[in-house]
Structure 1
Amino acid sequence: MDRLSGLDASFLYLETPAQLMHVCGLLVLDVSTMPGGYGFERLRAGIEGHVRDVPAFTRRLRRVPLGLDHPVWVRDRSFDIERHVHRLALPTPGGYRELTELAGHLAGLPLDRSRPLWEMWVIEGYEGDKVVVLSKMHHATVDGVSGANLISHLCALSATDAPLAPAPRATHGREPGPAELLGRGVLSTATRPLQLARLVSPSATLVTRTVGRARNGTAMAAPLTAPRTSFNGTITSHRSIGLADMDLEQVRAVKRATGTTVNDVVLAVAGGALRSYLLDRGELPTDSLLATVPVSVRSSSRRSDGANKVSALFTRLGTDIEDPLERVRDLAVRNRHAKDHHNAISADSLQDWAEFAAPRTFGLAVRAYAGLRLAEKHPVVHNLVISNVPGPPVPLYFVGARIEALYPLGPVFHGAGLNITVMSNAGELHVGVIACRESMPDVDDLVQRFPAALDELAGLVDGPGVTAPAR
C-alpha cells in the first residue's frame, strides 16, 4: 500500500467529465521488425509480460473513509490485460486525418478508476501496414519524466533485446482494512496544522523576494496577465489532435548560432507558429501569449514519495514580436530570469502545498468553477501549457517493433484549452498538440506551422550578423 502524494491526488481532484487528467502518447510502429511477425495477440502478450510486475501498471485506487486523506494505491489482484490493451482498425484510407480523428475521440474518454489507471489502444491499418499504439496514463500515476521511464519497461535497443528497465521483483503486500485507512486519515488530518505552520514562513519570504525581483525586472512572467484568445475559456470533453515533426539537428544549429538553448529555440518556434496562426485568423493579441512550462524537480526534490515531481514556470512566447531572431533572443533572456526565479523557490514547494488539497472541497470547487464558466469571467491565468521532454537519442523497439515516432499529448484545462508537448526521439522532435475541439477545431492548421517556423528561423541564422543574446 502506498499513499498518493498531495500533488498526485490533486490530479484526481482536478478531473471532471470535461477536464480529463490523463496523459497520452502516440507510438507509430514499424511492426516488420517483430520477431515472428506482427499479431495483435503476440503484441498484447508481450506488453503483459513486461508490465505484470510493474506497480504503476498493476495498482488501483482505494479511497480513505470519509475522504479524510488522499487515496492509497493497492495491488489489483484481479489484473487482466484484456481490460487495458484494446484493438481497433482505421477506416480506409487509414491516413493522417483518420488517425488524428480517432486519437482525438479516444483521448476524450475517461479512464476507469476501478482498475489501474492506464490503457493502450492498438490501432491497425495506418498508412497500409503500420501500427499505432495510443497509450493513456492518468497524471496521478506519471509526470513527463516518470512516464518516459515507464515506457522503458516496454522498450529495448533492438528487436530481440530485453527491455531497458526490467520489471522489478513482485511484492504482494497486504491490503489495509477500512479501520486502518480511517485511522491513518485521522492522524494525517490532526498533523496538518503543524505542517502548515512550517510552510507559512518560507512562503512569506518567497513573496517578498518575488516582489523585489519584479521591481528589478528579473522575475518570471506573472500569472493572470495573459491576453484572452479563442482557446481560453471553458472546455468540453471533445479533443482535437495534431502531429508534426522537426529536425533536432536544425534546432541545435539555431541554438549554436544564437547562443541559446534547445528549449529557448523550441519555445520561440512555438511562439512563431502561434503568432502566424492567430494573425491569419485576425485574433493576434497586442500582448504576448503566456505559457505555463512544467519543470521536473526530480533531481533536486527531497521527497521520496509520489509519482509527480514537477513544478512550473511562466514565460512569454514572444507572439508580439514579428522578427524570429529577435523573438528567440528575447525568449532566451526571459527564460534565464524565469529559471533563476524558479530555482530560488524550493523544489518541493508545490508538492508541500498540494498536501492540503481536500478531496471533497477541491473536487466541488473545480466542478463549480466549470459549471459557472468562471474561466471566461476573470483575467486569463495562462494561455496554454507547453512542455519539452527529452527522449531517447537512439531508435527504440516497442515489444520488438521499431518506434518510428513518439508524439506526447498532455491534458488541457478550463481557461487554457491548448497543450503543446515536444519530445525528442532518435534525432527528431515530435510535436503533439491537443486542444478542446470547440475552442480549436482545426489543430492541424496550428501544428503544421511548427516546421515552417523552424525553417524560417534556421534560414535567418544562416545569414551574416547573427549574435548571441546579451548576458
Structure 2
Amino acid sequence: MERLSGLDASFLYLESSAQLMHVCGILQLDPSTIPSDYSFGAFKADLEARISTIPDFRRKLKEVPLEIDHPVWVDDADFDINRHVHRLAVPSPGGPAELAKLCGHMAGIPLDRSRPLWEMYVIEGLDNGRIAIFTKMHHATVDGISGSNLISFLCSLEPGAPLLDLTPLGERYDAAPGDWELFGRGLLNNLGKPWQFVRLMAPTTSVLTKTIRRAREGTAMAAPLTAPRTSFNGNITGKRSVGYADISLEKIKEIRHAVEGATVNDVVLAISGGALRRYLEERGELPETSLLASVPVSVHGTSTKTGGTNKVSSMFTRLGTDVADPVERLRQLAEANAHAKDHHKAIPADTLQEWAEFAAPRTFGLAVRAVAKLKLAEKGPVIHNLVISNVPGPPVPLYFMGAKIVGFYPLGPVFHGAGLNVTVMSANGQMHVGLIACREAMPEIASLAAHFPEELDALHAAVLG
C-alpha cells in the first residue's frame, strides 16, 4: 500500500467528463526490427511478461472511507492484460490524418478507475508499414519524467537485447487494507495538517515578498492572469484533436550555440511562439500582446519528498507571438527566461507538493463543476493560454519490445481556460512534437503542427543564413 501525495491526488480531484486528467502518447514503431517477426499475440504475451515485473503497471486505487484522506495504491489481485492492451486498425488509407483522428477519439475516453490507470492500443494498418502504440496513463500515476521512465522499462538498446534489470521493482504493492485501517490512518494524517499549514505560511510569505520585489525590479517571471484571450481559451469539452510533427534537434542546437544566452528550451519556446503566431494570423485571431504559456518544471532532482510520483513545479513565460522577427523573439525569450529561472530557483522545490496536501476531493470537484457550469473560463482574465512541456528523452535509438521507436509524441492534458497542450520530447537526434486540444476549440490542429518545422527552418535561416 502507498498513499498518494496531495499533488498526485489533485489530478484525480480535478478530473471531470470534460477535463480528463490522463496523459497520452503516440509511439511509432518499425516492426521489421523484431527478431521473430511481428504478431499481435506474441507482442502482447511479451508485454504481459514484462509488465508482471513492474508494480506500477499493476497498482490500482482504493478510496479512504468518507474521503477524509487521499486514496492509496494497492495491488490489483484480478489484473488482466486483456483489459489494458487492445488491437485496432487505422481507417483507410492509413495516413497521418487518419492516425491522428483515431488517437484524438481515444484521448477523449476516460480511464476506468476500478482498474490500474493505464491502457495501450496497438494500431495496425498504417500506410508506411509501421505500427503505432497509443498509450494512456493517468496523471495521478506519472508526470513527464516518470512517464518517460516507465515506458523505457519496456525498451532495450538493441532489438534482441534483454530489457533493463528491474529487480528492485519486482515487489508488488500490498493487498488492499481494510476500511477501518484506512480511516484510522486518514484521521492521523489530518491531525497534523494544522501544524503543516502554520509551517508553510512563513516560507510562502517570504516567496511572495521576494516576488513583489522582483516584479518592481523587472526580474520576475511573467505573471499569470495577464494572458490575452484566444479561441482556445474557454470552457472545454471531452472531445480531443491531436496533431504531431518532427523537428531537427541538430538545427535547434546550432541555433542555441549561435545566439548568446539561449538554451535548447528557449529555442523550443521561440519555435512554439512562431508556430502559434502563424496559426493565429491565418485565422485573423492574433492578439496584440503575447500569448502566455505555463511551463512545467521537473523538481525530481531537488525535491526532498520521497513519496509521490508527480514532482513538478511551474513557471510562466511569454512566447513572443507579438514579435514578427524570429531572432528577436528568441533573444527576448532567452532574456526573460533567464530571469524566470532565477525567480523559480528562489521558490522551494517542494512548495507545490506541500500545499497540494491540503487538496480536498469535494472542494476540487465543486470548483471544477462551478467553472464548467458558470463558464468562468470564458469570463474575466485568462490565467494562461496553453501548457508547453519539454521532456528530455534518450539520445540513442530505443527498441520497444524489439521494434525500433521512430517517433514518440507525448500528449498532455488540457484544462478549462487553456484548451491546448504542446509537449516536446527529444529522442535520438529528433524533437518529437505532440499537440492535443479541445476539438471544438481547435479542430484543425494539424495546421498548427505543420507550422513547427516551418518555423524552425525560418529561425535557422535567420540565425545562420
- Distance between the aligned counterparts of 2:213 and 2:173, measured in 1? 52
Name 1:254's counterpart in structure 2: 255
Name 1:67's counterpart in structure 2: 67
- Distance between the aligned counterparts of 1:263 and 1:34, measured in 2? 34
- Distance between the aligned counterparts of 1:92 and 1:280, measured in 2? 30
Please show how residues 180-329 of structure 1 align to structure 2 within 5 Å: 180-259=181-260, 260-329=262-331
Counterpart selection for 1:331 from 330, 333, 337: 333
1:277 CA drift (Å): 0.8
Q: Residue type of the partner of 1:198?
A: R
For the 8 Å contact 2:14–2:364, the answer to whether it is kept is: yes
- Distance between the aligned counterparts of 1:162 and 1:335, measured in 2? 41
- Distance between the aligned counterparts of 2:127 and 2:256, measured in 1? 34
Name 1:342's counterpart in structure 2: 344
| Farther-moved stretch of structure 1 (227-236 vs 173-182) | 173-182
Q: How has the CA–CA distance of structure 1 residues 178 and 414 changed in structure 2, closer, same or farther, with 3 Å as cutoff?
A: same
For the 8 Å contact 1:157–1:164, the answer to whether it is kept is: no
1:190 CA drift (Å): 1.6
Counterpart selection for 2:460 from 458, 461, 470: 458
Deviations 1:82-129 (CA, angstroms, capped at 9, x unpaired): 100000001211111110000000000000000000000000011242
Name 1:468's counterpart in structure 2: none
- Distance between the aligned counterparts of 1:205 and 1:165, measured in 2? 44
Name 2:400's counterpart in structure 1: 398
- Distance between the aligned counterparts of 1:457 and 1:31, measured in 2? 35
Name 2:354's counterpart in structure 1: 352
1:166 CA drift (Å): 2.6
Is 1:90–2:96 an aligned residue pair? no
- Distance between the aligned counterparts of 2:17 and 2:250, measured in 1? 41
- Distance between the aligned counterparts of 2:100 and 2:19, measured in 1? 20
- Distance between the aligned counterparts of 1:163 and 1:226, measured in 2? 46
For the 8 Å contact 2:409–2:434, the answer to whether it is kept is: yes
SS at match of 1:73: strand
1:378 CA drift (Å): 2.0
For the 8 Å contact 1:152–1:165, the answer to whether it is kept is: no
- Distance between the aligned counterparts of 2:445 and 2:309, measured in 1? 30
- Distance between the aligned counterparts of 1:53 and 1:176, measured in 2? 22
Q: Which runs of 5+ in 2 are unaligned?
A: none
Name 1:412's counterpart in structure 2: 414
Name 2:103's counterpart in structure 1: 103
1:139 CA drift (Å): 0.3
SS at match of 1:308: coil
- Distance between the aligned counterparts of 1:124 and 1:285, measured in 2? 42
Q: How has the CA–CA distance of structure 1 residues 419 and 203 changed in structure 2, closer, same or farther, with 3 Å as cutoff?
A: same
SS at match of 2:192: helix
Name 1:469's counterpart in structure 2: none
CA RMSD in angstroms comes to 0.9
Q: Which runs of 5+ in 1 are unaligned?
A: 464-471
For the 8 Å contact 2:75–2:173, the answer to whether it is kept is: yes
| Farther-moved stretch of structure 1 (288-297 vs 122-131) | 122-131
Name 1:425's counterpart in structure 2: 427
- Distance between the aligned counterparts of 2:25 and 2:327, measured in 1? 32
Q: Residue type of the partner of 2:441?
A: S
1:174 CA drift (Å): 4.0
- Distance between the aligned counterparts of 2:193 and 2:422, measured in 1? 36
- Distance between the aligned counterparts of 2:451 and 2:176, measured in 1? 51
1:152 CA drift (Å): 1.4
- Distance between the aligned counterparts of 2:357 and 2:110, measured in 1? 25
Deviations 1:114-149 (CA, angstroms, capped at 9, x unpaired): 000000000001124211000000000000000111
Q: How has the CA–CA distance of structure 1 residues 274 and 296 changed in structure 2, closer, same or farther, with 3 Å as cutoff?
A: same
Q: Residue type of the partner of 1:191?
A: G
Please show how residues 123-142 of structure 1 align to structure 2 within 5 Å: 123-142=123-142
SS at match of 2:18: coil
SS at match of 2:348: coil
SS at match of 2:125: strand
1:365 CA drift (Å): 1.4
| Farther-moved stretch of structure 1 (64-73 vs 371-380) | 371-380
1:165 CA drift (Å): 5.0
Identity %: 62
Q: Residue type of the partner of 1:106?
A: M
For the 8 Å contact 2:74–2:173, the answer to whether it is kept is: no
1:377 CA drift (Å): 1.2
| Farther-moved stretch of structure 1 (62-71 vs 27-36) | 27-36
Name 1:440's counterpart in structure 2: 442
- Distance between the aligned counterparts of 1:174 and 1:280, measured in 2? 56
- Distance between the aligned counterparts of 1:173 and 1:21, measured in 2? 26
Q: How has the CA–CA distance of structure 1 residues 91 and 171 changed in structure 2, closer, same or farther, with 3 Å as cutoff?
A: closer
- Distance between the aligned counterparts of 2:442 and 2:176, measured in 1? 45
For the 8 Å contact 2:73–2:173, the answer to whether it is kept is: no
Name 1:45's counterpart in structure 2: 45
Q: How has the CA–CA distance of structure 1 residues 407 and 165 changed in structure 2, closer, same or farther, with 3 Å as cutoff?
A: farther
Name 1:466's counterpart in structure 2: none
SS at match of 1:362: helix
1:217 CA drift (Å): 0.1
- Distance between the aligned counterparts of 1:272 and 1:303, measured in 2? 38
Q: Residue type of the partner of 1:34?
A: I
Instruction: Give the alignment's TM-score, normalised by structure 1.
Output: 0.97
- Distance between the aligned counterparts of 1:112 and 1:264, measured in 2? 38
- Superposed structure 1 runs of 4+ greater than 3 Å apart: none
- Distance between the aligned counterparts of 1:165 and 1:265, measured in 2? 36
- Distance between the aligned counterparts of 1:174 and 1:74, measured in 2? 6
Name 1:467's counterpart in structure 2: none
Q: How many residues are aligned here?
A: 463
Deviations 1:259-307 (CA, angstroms, capped at 9, x unpaired): 2110000000000000111111111101100000000000000000000
Counterpart selection for 1:380 from 371, 379, 382: 382
- Distance between the aligned counterparts of 2:176 and 2:98, measured in 1? 44
For the 8 Å contact 1:50–1:166, the answer to whether it is kept is: no
- Distance between the aligned counterparts of 2:142 and 2:90, measured in 1? 28
